[in-house]
Amino acid sequence: MTEHINLFIYGDVQGVFFRRTIKHEASRRGIKGFIQNKPDGSVYLELEGAKDETASFVEWIEAGADGHTVKRIDREAGAFKAFDAFEIKE
């Protein structure tokens, strides 16, 4: 079963290659969507993939995503958009 998740990620997540790390891992796992810095210092992420893979991916992010400091993640379900790939948005 495929799902769409919107994540609002807070912590030390800007200016530390966080978006690039997330993109690499998402692509490795076959997850599609995008990641974008927000003006308040947080990062916004939309992802789509198999439910078990997205759950594992979110757990990986919560654990610190390769050493990055994640303080909080707000999560909400979203409408499926059928993304073609995973990208970094400016």
Q: What is the pLDDT of residues 37-78, one digit of tens each?
A: 999 999 999 999 999 999 999 999 998 877 788 999 999 999
The span from the CA of 44 to the CA of 28, in Å, is 20
Whether 89 is covered by a domain: the verdict is: no
28 is catalytic: no
- What are the tens digits of pLDDT across the range 17-46? 999 999 999 999 999 999 999 999 999 999
Of 38, 37, 26, 32, nearest in space to 66 by CA: 26
Whether 83 is covered by a domain: the verdict is: no
Whether 62 is covered by a domain: the verdict is: yes
Whether 72 is covered by a domain: the verdict is: yes
Whether 3 is covered by a domain: the verdict is: no
Catalytic residue among 6, 19, 72, 75: 19
29 is catalytic: no
> In terms of pTM, does the model score above 0.85?
yes
CATH of the domain at 26: 3.30.70.100
Whether 6 is covered by a domain: the verdict is: no
What is the number of domains present in the chain? 1
Catalytic residue among 6, 20, 29, 37: 37
The packing angle between helices 18-29 and 51-62, to 10°, is: 150
Cα 27 to Cα 23, 54, 88: the distances in Å are 6, 12, 12
Contact 29, 85 (CB under 8 A): no
Query: Which domain does 70 fall in, by range?
Result: 12-77
